[in-house]
Each structure stands twice: as C-alpha cells, then as structure tokens.
C-alpha cells in the first residue's frame, strides 16, 4: 500500500499556506464555513487554523447529524421504546444524546429495550429473530445514511417482514445551508463543501449557492492538505471575481453523486413540509419521512408520537455553534459545565460535534496561542 504523504506533507502545507496568504487582500476578513463535522475534526486535529493568515476564519457548520436532532425527537423515540413489545435500535452515536427527559442510555436503565446497531440491516436482523416484537430503527443522518435506511426498508418489504419500522429523522443538507445563507446572523464568503454527503448527492445541488448567492463552494476531502487546497481554490475564485462549485474531492465524489442511492431515497422517502433542527429552528422541506407507499414501515404511523417541543437548556449555546456564530470555546459552559463526560449540548456529545472535536484536540493549541499573545 502506498503512503499518504502526498496528503500530509508539511512542506506542501507551508507552500499552500504561502499561496493562500498571497491571495488575501490585506485588511479584508474572509469567513468560510466548513459544513461537515468531519472537516471540523481535521481542522482541529491538525491545527490547520495555525497555517492560515489572520484574514481567514473557518467557521463550523451544521453538518453533524446527531447535533441537530431536537430534544423533542429524542423524547418521542424514548416514548416509542417504552411501549410494550418494542425493541428500539439506533447507532451508538445516539445513545448519549440528551432529550428533555434523559437519553437512550437513561431509558435503557429504566427498563426500555434499546439496542445499539452498526447498520439498519442489523436492526432488520433483530426483527427477523424476534417475530413477536416490533423492532423500531431510530434513523438519523444526512444523505450519507438515508440511502441505507431506504435500502433496508426495501429489503424488509421484499422479505415480507412486518415487525420492522423506522422512526425517521433523516435530514437533508441543502435546506440547512440555505437557512444559514438566509440568516442575518452571519456573513459568509464561501463554503468548504461536505465530502461524504456529496458522494450521494453529487455537486449539482450546490449550484444555487454559487449562482444565486454569489458564494463559492468547494467539495473537499478530509485530509489536512485537502482543506488547505480547498481554501486556496476558494480564494482564487474570490480574487478572480468568480463564484462556482468546484470538486476538490473528485477522487471520491462523482459530479452527479450516486444515482442508485438517490433513487433508493426517492422510492422510499418523501420530504416533510418542515422539520425542527436543534439550534436552527424549523426549516421547510429539510427532512425525510417514510413515504405513503411504505407507510407500514413508518413508526410514526404505527405508534402515537407525543411530538412535544423541548427548549434547549438555557445555558446551552449549541444553536449558535451550529450556525457558526460562536466558536465552541465562546460558549458559556464549554469545558466547564459541559464536557464530553457530562455533555449538556449535542455538539459535545457527538464525536463529530464541533465542541467535542475542539475539546479533544483544539483546546491546547488555543491556550498556546493565548500564551504567545500575552508575551
């Protein structure tokens, strides 16, 4: 196997940084949002902000599916899990996400049968092995995981399995980006576009951002040099007065995405009129539900859903962090009341959340920066 130095080389990073600096107009402040939590991770892990000139600020976006689940939906899922004969299943990331009345782990301790699965196909297998139980899969994620849920429903349908259903919380990335673009809170110059989501949706859905909003978007890989390269591509566009969608991650992302995955979503799911996002509020056509043709696999048709709304704890500023208005360390409770061990907000629960990433990797860099400025 070949080495990956081509994505990591420090000299290349410095050369890219020099070209980035040369392209910045002195005195102009550039704000680029990295939409995806995976990018946030790379940025903190490798201290990429240290390579960038002070003119360039990277702000973190809403691309962490666990982070944007509103507390009320967690409560709804727990309500279903407590119904007689139900086995609730979900990804491990979901287990510690707090609802208004505790997390899945708390509900499990109170006797609910909640099981962690790696894949929705595992949930389907549990359903086959437990014909007397109703097995519900708590589906979360962007377009990266929605095709898997859709394919699992199709499989259940093909095999005639009747005791499997999906509590669907899939969200779609484009309306969230649009909501951020339309929000008065934040002035962004460009986007570092998500990598894995784009393997499914491709690059075309972003074209309105360049066309209608005049902002460049560069679909980007997860290596440190990918991100620096993408920043350079964005600055080149801005310097030349262009706004286009570019694909820096073409080695993985096809321009048209994965047509089979899109077709599976299309077959099984339909857009909800609106859906609540933690921190961002209600966004129109931003989430998926199980479509009418597959209603027998829709947990919302099978169970009564309380559907309550729960306000985030007042001390929690995840909403501002998810919109890129606050950096994690600017939140009142970051690192004090809210830590990965005792998270208050979702951004600290999920390993892809900006706060957890920053807590785990970034804090010490920032402290070093502070020390350096003091001297």
For the chain, how are helix, strand and coil distributed in percent, rounded to 5? 45, 20, 35
205 part of the interface to other proteins, by CB under 8 A: no
Q: Which is nearer to other proteins, 83 or 365 (CB)?
A: 365
Site for other proteins in 62-81 (CB under 8 A): 64-66
Q: Which residues pair with 136 in a beta bridge?
A: 88, 165
Task: Specify the residue, 83 or 351, whose C-beta has the smaller distance to other proteins.
Answer: 351
Residue 222 CB, shortest distance to other proteins, in Å, is 5
Residues 296 to 325 in contact with other proteins, rule: CB under 8 A: none
Please report how close the Cβ of residue 350 comes to other proteins at its closest, in angstroms: 8
Work out the burial of residue 190: count CB atoms within 10 Å of its CB; fewer than 13 is exposed, 13-18 middle, 19 or more buried: buried
Contact, 312 vs 319, CB < 8 A?
yes
- Quote the tokens at residue 291: 């479509």
Q: Is 57 or 351 the residue whose CB approaches other proteins more closely?
A: 351
Q: How far is the CB of 338 from other proteins (least distance, A)?
A: 18
User: What six digits make up the tokens of 103?
Assistant: 């997390």
Looking at 82-204, list the stretches that DSSP marks H as alpha helix, in order from N- to C-terminal side: 104-109, 120-129, 146-159, 173-182, 196-201
Complex with other proteins: residue 208 or 361, whichever CB lies closer? 361
Positive or negative: CA dihedral 227, 228, 231, 233? negative
β-pairing verdict for 217-219 and 190-193? parallel
> Interaction with other proteins in 137-156: which residues (CB under 8 A)?
140-142, 144-145, 147-148, 151
Closest approach of other proteins to the CB of residue 189, in Å: 26
Between CA 18 and CA 119 the distance in angstroms is 43
- What is the DSSP code (8-state) at residue 130? -
- Nearer to other proteins among residue 298 and residue 352 (C-beta): 352
Looking at residues 227 to 266 of the shown chain, list those that interact with other proteins (rule: CB under 8 A).
251-254, 258, 260-261, 264
- Interface map 92-131 toward other proteins (x if CB under 8 A): xxx---------------------xxxxxxx--xx-----
Q: How many amino acids of this chain bind other proteins (CB under 8 A)?
A: 54
Q: What is the DSSP string of 254-285?
A: -TT--HHHHHHHHHHEEE-SEEEETTTEEEET
Window 29-48: contact mask with other proteins (x via CB under 8 A): --------xx--xx--x---
Report in angstroms how near the CB of residue 355 gets to other proteins at its nearest.
Answer: 14
Report yes or no: 323 and 186 within 8 Å, Cβ to Cβ.
yes
Residue 325, phi then psi, degrees to nearest 5: -75, -35
**Could you say which of 30, 32, 51, 91 contacts other proteins (CB under 8 A)?**
91
Binding site for other proteins (CB under 8 A): 1-4, 6-8, 37-38, 41-42, 45, 64-66, 91-94, 116-122, 125-126, 140-142, 144-145, 147-148, 151, 195-196, 199-200, 221-223, 251-254, 258, 260-261, 264, 351-352, 360
């Amino acid at each position: 196997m070949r080495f990956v130095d081509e994505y990591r080389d420090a000299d290349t990073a410095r050369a890219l940084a020099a070209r980035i600096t040369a392209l910045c107009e002195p005195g102009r402040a550039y704000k680029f949002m990295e939409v995806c939590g995976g990018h946030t991770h790379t940025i903190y892990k490798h201290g990429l902000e240290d390579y960038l000139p002070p003119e360039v600020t990277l702000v973190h976006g809403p691309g962490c599916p666990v982070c944007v689940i509103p507390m009320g939906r967690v409560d709804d899922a727990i309500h279903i899990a407590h119904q007689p004969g139900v086995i609730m299943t979900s990804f491990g990331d979901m287990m510690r996400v707090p609802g208004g009345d505790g997390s899945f782990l708390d509900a499990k301790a109170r006797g609910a049968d909640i099981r962690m699965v790696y894949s929705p196909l595992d949930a389907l297998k549990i359903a086959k092995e437990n014909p007397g139980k109703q097995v519900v899969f708590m589906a979360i994620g962007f377009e990266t995981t929605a095709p898997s849920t859709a394919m699992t429903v199709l499989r259940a349908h093909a095999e005639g399995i009747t005791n499997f259903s999906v509590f669907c919380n899939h969200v779609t990335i484009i309306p969230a980006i649009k909501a951020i673009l339309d929000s008065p809170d934040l002035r962004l110059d460009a986007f570092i576009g998500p990598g894995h989501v784009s393997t499914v949706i491709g690059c075309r859905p972003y074209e309105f951002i360049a066309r209608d909003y005049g902002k460049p978007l560069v679909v980007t890989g997860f290596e440190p040099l990918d991100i620096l390269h993408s920043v350079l591509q964005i600055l080149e566009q801005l310097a030349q007065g262009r706004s286009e969608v570019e694909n820096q991650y073409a080695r993985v992302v096809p321009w048209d995405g994965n047509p089979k995955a899109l077709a599976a979503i299309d077959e099984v799911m339909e857009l909800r009129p609106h859906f609540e996002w933690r921190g961002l509020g209600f966004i129109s056509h931003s989430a998926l539900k199980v479509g009418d043709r597959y209603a027998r696999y829709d947990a919302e048709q099978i169970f009564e859903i309380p559907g309550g709304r729960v306000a985030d704890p007042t001390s929690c500023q995840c909403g501002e962090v998810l919109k890129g208005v606050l950096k994690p360390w600017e939140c009142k409770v970051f690192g004090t009341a809210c830590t990965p061990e005792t998270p208050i907000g979702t951004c600290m629960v999920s390993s892809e959340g900006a706060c957890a990433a920053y807590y785990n990797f970034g804090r010490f860099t920032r402290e070093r920066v502070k020390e350096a400025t003091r001297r």
